[in-house]
Chains A and B, each alone.
Chain A
Amino acid sequence: MMTRPGKLRWALIIAALALLEGACRLGFVSRQTIIAPTAMAAGAWQALGSAEMRGHILITLASVAQSIGLAIVVGFAVGAALYRLPRLRRTLDPFLASYYAVPAFVFYPVFIVLFGLNRWPLVAIGFVFAVTAVIINTLDGLSRVPRGVRRTAAVMKLTPLQHIFFIMLPAAAPWLFTGAKFAVVYSFIGVIAGEFVLSGAGLGHAIAFAYNSFDNETMYGLMLLLFLIVGGINMQLWIWEQRLYARRGGY
């Protein structure tokens, strides 16, 4: 059963799409600038029917998945290590805080030297975009585990592994989940943006190629597909997060 805000949300989306459709069909907006949503949907459908485009999509999704996986594993591990080493954490705090001031794309030539001319430099860009968010959220989550919970665990004489898996991880789960959510978003940004300018394959490259060829239907179709993929994943993560928070009363 859909809630009232949910219904309102859908109504807003449908109204915005109808408005854009009308504006495009009636010629208020130039076709060179933007195409009608139905034309975008047709473009997306056409792209899905093309083996070449499906290949681009799969390449991008594989790179993003690798980037997310690496960012989550490395981010959790580094975050947990910094939590255990407060002096090192205090030393690194300014770097973590100012990390996003560094444009990660400047590292692309370095990644090409390191990994060669393949997909790994793009995975690395997605990874460096995402990993710090995971580290920061892991640190935040572990630091916020209530003292009473940590002391109770000490009383129960858990093994170090039990302590990590049965106390610290579930207690910090909302923050770890937020870190994972950021990893998804930042990995998509890193990989797609990288493909736009630095790649010969992938969804970002295909969108850039369509743009340069004045093929608006394909470009908007692929953009719509990208929007649906990223939006769908984020919506699903949001639903899981809401369930997690609801059960735990906001914590």
Chain B
Amino acid sequence: MNTSSVQLCLRGVTRVFPAVEQQKPLHALGPLDLDLRRGEFFSVVGPSGCGKSTLLDLVAGLARPTAGTITFEGRPVAGEVPDGIGVVFQEDASFPWLSVYDNAAFALRRAGMAEKDIRERVDPTLAAVGLQSFAGAYPAQLSGGMRQRLCIARTLVTRPRLLLLDEPFGALDQQTRLLMGDELLDLWRLTDATVFLITHSLDEAALLSDRIGVMSARPGVFIDLVDTAWPRERDSRIVSDPAFGRVTGRLWEMLRGQSLKALAGG
């Protein structure tokens, strides 16, 4: 791989949670190696408890690896979210005390940006996620999917070069997830950001991704990297493509044994 195209680089990344009271230390993750290409849509799938969200925390700089190194655009990531990285979590993280517009503008205001410049960023972003007509509404007045779109918009206005998504559609029904996936693909093409998606859903990973990292049961390591070979212009209609079935089939083939192992291990 051309090193200039590598945006995020993980080498020997390991995470061991220290012993708490009488319990033994928990080896959650690694050692992991990964090169994330600039502009690609990369998803991570794996059995429950394999360390997917731990991996996202490490990449985001919200936690430190026990061993190994993570570099984002050549600079080490260590205990602080680097500039250029945006994160959307699985939980509803909209701020209920702020309107949709103020939610989206929050990070920019804290960064001291002028109101005029904020509006120039927030308005088109809300339009892109279909929330422009709800700018004055409060999160309590929105559906779960709309609130998650708001969280994505709030992250996108900061113009991240790497967007980390931790199962952002986990709480939504299947149809909404497919449509949200289409919206996410549109935003990905629009922003040219690299996307690193953590998901439980094999369909979601297969639909959205250029590459999919398949993780083993704990301690999570990559046991396969699947290239989907989808064109950049794609949407949820590819679920009817036979190649989609082949991708999900391959993912499940790799994951079934690991999921059984995770299930047996509690």
Contact = CB atoms under 8 A, between A and B. Distances in A.
B64 to A, nearest CB: 13
Given A148-B90, A151-B93, A156 B138 contact: no
A162 B110 contact: yes
A154 interface: yes
Contacts of A171: 95-97
Interface string A153-173: 011111000100011001101
Contacts of B106: 156, 166
Contacts of A151: 62, 87, 89, 91, 93
B73 interface: no
Given A146-B91, A148-B92, A155-B81, A173 B97 contact: yes
B107 A156 contact: yes
Q: Is the interface of A mostly helix, strand, loop or mixed?
A: helix
Interface stretch (A31-39, A223-231, A242-250): A242-250
B138 A149 contact: no
Nearest to B57: A151
A240 to B, nearest CB: 14
Interface residues on B, range: 20 to 34
A155 B91 contact: no
B81 A157 contact: yes
Interface string A102-130: 00000000000000000000000000000
Given A162-B110, A249-B138, A155 B95 contact: no
Contact of B95 (A157, A162, A170, A249): A170
B91 A249 contact: no
B212 interface: no
A251 interface: yes
Interface string B67-99: 000000000000011000111011111011110
A147 B91 contact: yes
A155 B87 contact: yes
Nearest to B98: A170
A50 interface: no
Contacts of B97: 170-171, 173, 247-248
Contact of A248 (B89, B92, B110, B138): B138
A155 B96 contact: no
Given A167-B95, A248-B138, A249-B139, 12 more contacts: A151-B93, A154-B62, A154-B81, A155-B62, A155-B81, A157-B81, A170-B97, A247-B97, A247-B138, A248-B97, A249-B138, A249-B140
Interface of A: 146-149, 151-152, 154-158, 162, 166-167, 170-171, 173, 247-251
